[in-house]
Amino acid sequence: MSEKVQQAINQTNFTTLDWGIVVCYLLISVVIGLLVKKYASNMAAYIGAGRGVGTWLGIATMTGTELGLITVMYSAEKGFNGGFAAFHIAVLAGVVTFFVGLTGFIVAPLRAQGVLTIPEYYERRYGRRTRILGGCVLAFGGILNMGLFLKIGSMFIVGITGLSPDGYALPLVMTGLLSLVLVYTVLGGMISVIITDYIQFVVLSVGIVLTTFWGIQQLGWNNIFETIVQEKQEAGFNPFMEGEFGTEYVVWMAFTGLIGCAVWPTAVARALAMESTTAVKRQYRWSSISFTIRFMIPYFWGICAFVFIVTQAPDLQELFFVADPGANAKPELSPLYALPIYLGRLLPAGLIGIISAAMIAAFMSTHDSYLLCWSSVITQDIIAPLRRKPLSVEHRVLLTRILIVVIGLYILAWGLFYEGGDAIWDYMAITGAIYFTGAFALLAGGLYWNRASSWGANAALVAGASAIFGLEPVRVPTVQIVARLLGHKMENRVAADFFSSAQIGIASVILTCVVFVVVSLMFPDPPGANDLHSAESPQEGESV
């Protein structure tokens, strides 16, 4: 790391007072985990909060989960790079969430089934083999999806506090944050998650409002717009222009917005914990507002960080921008550091502590839900169905807790060693697509199409895994191998741009749906198979 980079990061207003605010908040979270441990006595309570979550608590906890620090960071990166054009993702997310709230698409009939996890529904509709395969795909895609959460969240802490991004600071922050999340998630399960998510929702709301208005006051509303017009021109406002986004990207974002609320397990987990299907619909209608805000405000923060660097921080310009973008050179600092450095310089002492606590709250509210979700899927939908002898309630809870720790150790290692050139949001969309392309076909087909078969379901799950080719470390060598077979040699940069992650994501969705329909028609289930699956599957009380 150059001396200029270290000097730039050290210029922060973060003080001892701010450290005190952050430490106090973290202690409160750990105490909550200890206090609610006694209520997590069975799987329904541990991963479903006893199915007693009301509408307003459901809205708060869903917002707390979906507005994580990883969301803030990847959204700020998109705002920094794409300007106001990035807002299209937020608008699409809000529209499709409201649509789900009006219609109950997927989530309402799924809640009516009384299942605890999505693969549990697979067994009722398609059979045990589909449940196990679906659980494996879900766990693989989901755990891979959250692999960078810890690293990106820790980069925020390092950037805003002025710690060195090189050396031991980043690994130590990653280890400390992960340890805190593991403690109260392992102890309290979903009850702990929902209670802390509610507190984090309140802290986040205050932090978001304060930071947004402070940024507007310091930078000036007109200056923000004029700078984007001057520096990014029409591409900073029109998402359909080729560059950062484009038409295919907008289409991909519309689909991922639908998936994010109706199929993604951590969001669906809240629907399955609601007290009724009516409450589920009401939750989604109101959550459409928070789903829009969770994207739009961090985009705006990224825009403010860009404007701040361009107009008020000449020492940062050479670190975040390259003089000749066509030379394929990379800036010294990743755009991910733009937001924390901007906040560290702009906000006064005390307020930085509140914002940092809010962001750590966002970090924890996402990690606890994701860790609980993936570990419970492995327990409920892979290990338990494979065993001849049923697992006791105590063993299920114990196994879930052990898996939470194992997954936590994985994301620590993955965050330290993974190297990829995709934007963080694009990485998450593609890794999530490994699961959700198949899940969308199975859920929508199973709930609304009587001719969906178990053969079609299994084939769709396998076809959905094709989305992994959207990741740059997989996409680039694949394109280069094909090019060599055709007698061409292709550089890494050319291979990376040959197909975009959005194009591969859309192609994977189309492929999966076609495979699901065609195989279902070619290999239909025998008459009465659906009734047999439902009869053999454990009912709501038995599965826990």
The amino acid that residue 455 corresponds to is W
**What pLDDT is stored for residue 3 in this prediction?**
67
Residue owning tokens 């709230």 = 101
Query: Contact, 261 vs 97, CB < 8 A?
Result: yes
Contact 371, 76 (CB under 8 A): no
Nearest to 365 by CA among 179, 148, 193, 178: 193
Residue 33: name the closest of 353, 404, 308, 388 by CA. Answer: 404
C-alpha 458/C-alpha 501 separation (Å) is 24
Total-model pTM? 0.81
CATH number of 3-37+58-321+330-536: 1.20.1730.10
- pLDDT on residue 41: 46
Residues (pLDDT < 50) of the chain are 39-60, 190, 538-544
The DSSP-derived string for 53-68 is B-HHHHHHHHHHHHS-
Of the candidates 112, 157, 149, the residue with the CA atom closest to the CA atom of residue 359? 157
In sequence order, what are the residues at sequence separation of 6 or more whose Cβ sits closer than 8 angstroms to the Cβ of residue 323? none
Quick check: 257 and 93 in contact, CB under 8 A?
yes
The pLDDT, as a whole number, for residue 29 is 64
Q: Determine the pLDDT at residue 328.
A: 59
Helix axes 149-161, 393-417, angle to 10 degrees: 60
The token pair that represents 443 in the structure block? 């859920």
Tokens of 261: 């609320």
Query: Which pLDDT score, from 0 to 100, does residue 305 have?
Result: 94
In which region does residue 117 sit, left (phi positive, over 0), alpha (psi from -120 to 50) or beta (all else)? Answer: beta
Compute the Cα dihedral for 154, 426, 301, 226 and give only its sign. positive
Q: How many CB atoms lie within 10 A of CB 30?
A: 16
**pLDDT recorded at residue 381:** 82
Mark residue 333 as left, alpha or beta (left: phi above 0; alpha: psi -120 to 50; beta: remaining).
beta
Closest residue by Cα to residue 370 from 431, 321, 303, 426:
431
Neighbours of 17 (CB within 10 A): 12
Map residue 275 onto helix, strand or coil: coil
The answer to whether residues 70 and 424 touch, using CB atoms and an 8 Å cutoff, is yes
- Residue pair 50/44 in contact (Cβ under 8 Å)? The answer is yes
- 3-state SS class at 125: helix
Using the structure block, give the residue that is written with the tokens 């699956």.
533
The confidence score (pLDDT) of residue 459 equals 96
Position 341, amino acid: I
Residue of 536, 382, 523 lying closest to 454 (CA atoms): 523
Report in angstroms the alpha-carbon separations of 316 from 3, 75, 339: 13, 20, 12
pLDDT confidence of residue 196: 59
CB-CB neighbours of 447 under 10 Å: 17
Query: Identity (one letter) of the amino acid at 84?
Result: F
- Residue 84: what pLDDT? 95
In the chain, what is the straight-line distance between the N-terminal and C-terminal CA atoms, in Å? 52
List 242's β-bridge partners, or say none.
245
Q: DSSP letters along 408-426, please?
A: HHHHHHHHHH----S-HHH
pLDDT of residue 192: 54
Cα gap 164→359, rounded to integer Å:
19
